[in-house]
Every structure is written in structure tokens, then in C-alpha cells.
């Protein structure tokens, strides 16, 4: 591809540099998704198969980040509620779920998956209202993928004799789980499905800003006839999370969230015999070589960083691009992000929705300011933003070096840092020069280079000529400060059992 730019310079006619016009010649009319999310005005805790009021009697508001309006009140759990949830989970494990054969557990999981599919549109709208992600993502990714995880693990539940060849497996008991706000329903499915398939019972805390789809799933668990206490949901902020993680009952703790909190959890669990899996932050390198199909690479870069407003732990937030094509890739990227539509998450044509919370918007804004201050060159699309709600323009930083904060710290927003490299070894070195190691992307036409890169990149997932592809059968997890343990696939199941 480099010759394309090199050889034409002499014949270029003397006229202004060609520009593409992405204006409003053909504007789209609003196209909101109209399914009813069937929200309640108040959501209680889900303990022992029942919705129960919190002992404190306190509730907090869940707001819609797209317009800052209140959606519902969510129960504020206390340590006493968490304890009640664990007692229920323990009783359910000892008396019912732990004794149930795998083929019986499978039936419940299949039922949950089907009920979720039946109510897919309703859940998609609720997810979008609560979290701010565009409806096309919650409709085409989050909800179907969550159902797929229940289906996949339902299939395993009666085949656990084969999950660890030559060994037998047994359930752990009660597990405590805490999940983040970026994929509320999907992370819930990632955590619940393997735990239940293996025969464990669960106490789970959703993120404070995104509890609604979790509590809506509780309705499905009731409809599926899941025995009381097998799954319990407690809602609230960090103190509730700490109570879930530090309770004496759980045999295992699973956490997805920030590396900062992950470290606190590890410290608090040191010296206990609890099993632990942590899925934490990332600063993934998306590496583009000069022989890559550049137009598709640009698509992958955009998908890698702007999917879900960049609120993705495996987001390809560092673009490493081969020097000969750096200029070209940057031009293509700029033209591509000009057509991304930022706005009302419920509109079916929205590509980038609302930032999840005011707090997160503040963090992103601060990181972007630091990028400008440290001397990187910023490009933002000029699209109109809604006046209310939390929005951030898709942002590119070029001329970034490894010492910049925007190249080292997780931003968790629609902000891409672009660095260049000259050789394969330099690409690998730069990609691995990070505290994280969750994922990476490689774009090249050369198959052998893909194999070399995937062996040498210290990342749990390496995507080749694509990005952000997920499947319930494919294990997901990190290296270094991105955590440990795997979710999905056979490996994910092994993290929810003991081998005997």
C-alpha cells in the first residue's frame, strides 16, 4: 500500500486537497425503539426467591444517563441484607441445588435463556435506558449474547464429567460476585451461568448505576421456577460490594471491575482459603501492519474503541500503526468517525450513546485534558450533541508516545491514542509495555506474523484481523494487572469447581 501514496505526487493536479463532505444533505428522522421496558417505580432486593425491602428502608435513584431523568428507585442493601442473602444461598446449596443432578440444573438454565429471548426487546430497551448504550448494541449484542451464555452453560450442566478429562469435578458451594456497569446484563450472564451449571449458588451485586436489568432478570428467575435462594441479588454502592466480598460464607469470589478495586479485594482476601477470579482493566494494543487491508482495519479500530462508548475493558484503546501507513490510517480514521452518530441511545441509528455516569464523564474529560496538556494532537468529530445527558465526542489522539498518561492509563471512554512503530519487535515491545494484558489486535495479511504475534503478546485474547469478537465457548481473561481466571468455555467452568 505505501507505493500508492508515494508515486502520485508528481501527477497531482494543482487544486485544494480532496475532502469528503459528510454533511446533512440526507438527514435521518428520529427512529426510536418503542418497546415497553416494563420498569417498576421501585426495585427491592432479591433474596431467597422473593423481592424484599432492605432492612435500612433506604433507596437510591437510578437515572437515565441520556437525559438525567430518574428511572426507578433501587433498594440500598446493608451488611445485614447481605448476610441474609448468604444464609439463603447456603441453605439453597445445602438442601436443593448442590444435590440436584446436572441434567436437572440444565433445565432451569435453558428456561432462563428462553425466557430472556422471549423478552429480548423489553430487556434491550431497559438496558439502554439504564446504561446509556445504543439500542442497536443492546439489541444485537448484549441481550442475545447473555442468552447465548445461558444456553451454552445449560449444555455443559449434564456433561461435567468431561470438563476435566481424567478428573472429577465438584461444586464449590456459595459464590459471591460483583459486576461492573459497562455490560450489566451480559456480565451477569457471564457470572451466573457457569456458577449455576457447576452446581453453586450465588450472591451477586450489580453496579450501583445499572441495577435494573439485574432485578428484571430476577423476575425471569422466578418465572423459571428456580428454587429460592439459588440466586440472590443485593444492590447498592461500594460498601455493599465490600460486604459481599468479605463475608465468611462464600467459597469463591468473582469480581469484574477496575484494577484499583481488584487490588483492594486481593488484599482483603489474602490469608483466606477463598478461590478468586478477577477480570480487571485493560489498555489493549491494536496493531496495524502496512500489509493489512487498511479499510477493514479502520473498521476494526473504530469497533475496537468506540463500541459501547469505549466502556469496554478489552477496548483497543492504543492503536499501534506501522509508520509507512500511519498517515493514511489517520486520514481514514478521521473520515470514518465523522459519520458516527452520537446521540439518543434509544434511536436505532445511534452509533455512540451516552456516557454511563457524570462521574465517568468527568474522568474521561480529565484524561483528555491531560493528553492535550502533554502535547498529543487531538481530533474530535464535530457532530451535534444533545443538550441534556452525558455525552462525549469520539476522540483521536495522534503523536502519542509511551510516556503519555493517555497511553498508559485506562480511560474507559471513546478516546483512541495513536502511536507508531517501525518493526515487528518494536510493535511487540510497545504492546507489552503496559501494566495490563487483557486483549490485543493484530492486522496483517501475513499468516505467520499473526502466529508469532499471538505467541508473544502478553494478552488473554489476541484478535487477528478483527476485534471485539465474543463467544460463550471462548475463554476470556487477563494477564498481569488485567486479572486472572477465565470466563467462558471449558476454562471458565473450571474456575467454578474443585477437581477431585
Partner 1 sequence: MLARSPHAALRRLFDDVGTVDAVGIEERVAKYGTRSIKKASKLWGLKLAASMVDLTTLEGKDTPGKVASLCQKALCPHDPELGVPQVAAVCVYPAMVKHARKALGSATAVRIASVATAFPSGQAPLKTRLAEVKAAVADGADEIDMVINRGAFLSGEFGVMQDEIRAVVEACGQATLKVILEVSELETYDNIRAASFLAMRVIREGDFIKTSTGKTSLNATLGNNQVMIEAIRDYYLDTGVSIAMKPAGGIRTAKQALTFLLAIKETLGDAWLNNARYRFGASALLNDLIRQIAKENTGAYQAPYYFSEATESY
Residues serving a catalytic function are 279, 313
Question: Which residue, 34 or 403, has its beta carbon nearer to partner 1?
Answer: 34
Q: Could you report how far apart the first and last alpha carbons of the chain are, in Å? A: 56
For residue 303, the minimal CB distance to partner 1 (Å) is 8
Smallest gap from residue 348 Cβ to partner 1 (A) = 4
- 470 binds partner 1, rule: CB under 8 A: no
Q: Which one, 8 or 267, has the nearer CB to partner 1?
A: 8
Stretch that binds partner 1, among 17-25, 68-76, 114-122, 184-192 (CB under 8 A): 17-25
Q: In terms of CB distance, is 21 or 500 closer to partner 1?
A: 21
Q: How many residues bind partner 1 (CB under 8 A)?
A: 40
Shortest distance, CB of residue 25 to partner 1, whole angstroms? 4
Cα separation, 348 vs 436, whole angstroms: 34
**Rounded to whole angstroms, how far apart are CA atoms 172 and 289?**
46
63, 80, 193, 206, 436 from 279: Cα distances, Å:
26, 27, 16, 15, 11
Q: How far is the CB of 389 from partner 1 (least distance, A)?
A: 21
Establish if 13 lies at the interface with partner 1 (CB under 8 A). yes
Q: Phi and psi for 384 in degrees, rounded to 5?
A: -75, 140
Check binding of 268 to partner 1 (CB under 8 A).
no
d(CA 484, CA 240): 23
In this complex, which beta carbon is closest to partner 1, that of residue 4 or of residue 402? 4
Residue 444, SS3? Answer: coil
Using the rule CB under 8 A, is 323 a contact of partner 1?
A: no
In this chain, which of 10, 18, 382, 403 binds partner 1, going by CB under 8 A? 18
Which residue, 143 or 207, has its beta carbon nearer to partner 1?
143
Using DSSP, state whether 165 is helix, strand or coil.
coil
294 forms part of the interface with partner 1 (CB under 8 A): yes
Query: From the CB of 34, what's the least distance to partner 1, in Å?
Result: 11
Asked if 369 is part of the footprint of partner 1 (rule: CB under 8 A), the reply reads no
Strand partners, 415: 395
Give which of 422, 423, 397 is closest to 409, Cα–Cα.
397
Widest distance between CA atoms in the chain = 83
Reading the block at residue 185, the C-alpha cell is 446484563
Residue with cell 423489553: 122
Q: How far is the CB of 384 from partner 1 (least distance, A)?
A: 16
By beta-carbon proximity to partner 1, the closer residue of 5 and 401 is 5
Burial class of residue 34 in the structure, from the number of CB atoms within 10 Å of its CB (0-12 exposed, 13-18 middle, 19+ buried): exposed
Instruction: Give the C-alpha separation, 113 to 368, whole Å.
Output: 40
For position 293 contacting partner 1 by CB under 8 A, the verdict is yes
Q: Are 345 and 134 in contact (CB under 8 A)?
A: yes
Q: For residue 454, what are the CA distances in angstroms to 365, 419, 428, 440, 447?
A: 33, 20, 10, 9, 11
Q: Does 384 bind partner 1 (CB under 8 A)?
A: no
- Does position 225 bind partner 1 by CB under 8 A? no
The string over 153-166, giving b where at least 16 C-beta atoms fall within 10 Å of a residue's C-beta and e elsewhere, is bbebbeebeebeee
Q: Quick one: cell of 500? A: 477431585
Instruction: Restricting to residues 343-362, name those near partner 1 by CB under 8 A.
Output: 348-349
Does the protein bind partner 1 through residue 166 (CB under 8 A)? Answer: no
From candidates 61, 140, 161, 223, binder to partner 1 by CB under 8 A: 140
Is residue 136 a contact point for partner 1 (CB under 8 A)? yes
Q: For the CB of residue 396, give the shortest distance to partner 1 in the complex, in Å.
A: 17
Determine, following the binding rule CB under 8 A, whether residue 489 of this chain makes contact with partner 1: no
Residue 36 touching partner 1 (CB under 8 A): no
CA-to-CA distance for 286 and 447, rounded, in angstroms? Answer: 17
Residues near partner 1, by CB under 8 A: 1, 3-5, 8, 11-13, 15, 17-18, 20-23, 25-31, 136, 140, 291, 293-297, 299-300, 331, 335, 339, 348-349, 445, 465-466
Amino acid at each position: 500500500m505505501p507505493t500508492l501514496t508515494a508515486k502520485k505526487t508528481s501527477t497531482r493536479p494543482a487544486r485544494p486537497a480532496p475532502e469528503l463532505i459528510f454533511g446533512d444533505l440526507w438527514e435521518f428522522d428520529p427512529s426510536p425503539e418503542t418497546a415497553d421496558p416494563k420498569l417498576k417505580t421501585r426495585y427491592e432486593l432479591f433474596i431467597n426467591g422473593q423481592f424484599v425491602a432492605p432492612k435500612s428502608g433506604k433507596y437510591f435513584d437510578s437515572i437515565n444517563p441520556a437525559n438525567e431523568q430518574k428511572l426507578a428507585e433501587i433498594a440500598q442493601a446493608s451488611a445485614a441484607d447481605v448476610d441474609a442473602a448468604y444464609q439463603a444461598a447456603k441453605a439453597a446449596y445445602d438442601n436443593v441445588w448442590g444435590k440436584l443432578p446436572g441434567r436437572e440444573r440444565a433445565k432451569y438454565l435453558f428456561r432462563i435463556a428462553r425466557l430472556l429471548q422471549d423478552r429480548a426487546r423489553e430487556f434491550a430497551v431497559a438496558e439502554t435506558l439504564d446504561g446509556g448504550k445504543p439500542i442497536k448494541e443492546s439489541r444485537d449484542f448484549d441481550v442475545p449474547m447473555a442468552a447465548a451464555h445461558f444456553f451454552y452453560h445449560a449444555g455443559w450442566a449434564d456433561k461435567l464429567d468431561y470438563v476435566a478429562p481424567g478428573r472429577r469435578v465438584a461444586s464449590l458451594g456459595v459464590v459471591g460476585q460483583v459486576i461492573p456497569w459497562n455490560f450489566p446484563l451480559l456480565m451477569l450472564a457471564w457470572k451466573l451461568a457457569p456458577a449455576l451449571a457447576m452446581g453453586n449458588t450465588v450472591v451477586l451485586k450489580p453496579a450501583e448505576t445499572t441495577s435494573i436489568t439485574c432485578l428484571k432478570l430476577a423476575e425471569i428467575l422466578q418465572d423459571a421456577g428456580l428454587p429460592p435462594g439459588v440466586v440472590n441479588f443485593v444492590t447498592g454502592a461500594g460498601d455493599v460490594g465490600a460486604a459481599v466480598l468479605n463475608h465468611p460464607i462464600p467459597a469463591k469470589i468473582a469480581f469484574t471491575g477496575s484494577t484499583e478495586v481488584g487490588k483492594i479485594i486481593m488484599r482483603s482476601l489474602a490469608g483466606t482459603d477463598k478461590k478468586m477470579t478477577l477480570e480487571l482493566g485493560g489498555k489493549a494494543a491494536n496493531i496495524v501492519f502496512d500489509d493489512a487491508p487498511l479499510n477493514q482495519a479502520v473498521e476494526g479500530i473504530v469497533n475496537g474503541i468506540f463500541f459501547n462508548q469505549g466502556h469496554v475493558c478489552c477496548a483497543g484503546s492504543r492503536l499501534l500503526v506501522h509508520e509507512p501507513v500511519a498517515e493514511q490510517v489517520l486520514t481514514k480514521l478521521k473520515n470514518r468517525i465523522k459519520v458516527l452518530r452520537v446521540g439518543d441511545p434509544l434511536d436505532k441509528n445511534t452509533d455512540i450513546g451516552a456516557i454511563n455516569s457524570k462521574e465517568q464523564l468527568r474522568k474521561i474529560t480529565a484524561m483528555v485534558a491531560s493528553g492535550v496538556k502533554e502535547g498529543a494532537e487531538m481530533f474530535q468529530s464535530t457532530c451535534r450533541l444533545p443538550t441534556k445527558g452525558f455525552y462525549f465526542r469520539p476522540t483521536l489522539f495522534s503523536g502519542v508516545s509511551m510516556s503519555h498518561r493517555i497511553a498508559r492509563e485506562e480511560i474507559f471512554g471513546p478516546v483512541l491514542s495513536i502511536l507508531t512503530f517501525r518493526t515487528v519487535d518494536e510493535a511487540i515491545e510497545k504492546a507489552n509495555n503496559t501494566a495490563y494484558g487483557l486483549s490485543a489486535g493484530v492486522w496483517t495479511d501475513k499468516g505467520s506474523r499473526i502466529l508469532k504475534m499471538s505467541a508473544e503478546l502478553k494478552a488473554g485474547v489476541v484478535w487477528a484481523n478483527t476485534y471485539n469478537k465474543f463467544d460463550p465457548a471462548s475463554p476470556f481473561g487477563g494477564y498481569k494487572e488485567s486479572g486472572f481466571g477465565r470466563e467462558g468455555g471449558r476454562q471458565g467452568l473450571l474456575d467454578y469447581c474443585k477437581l477431585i
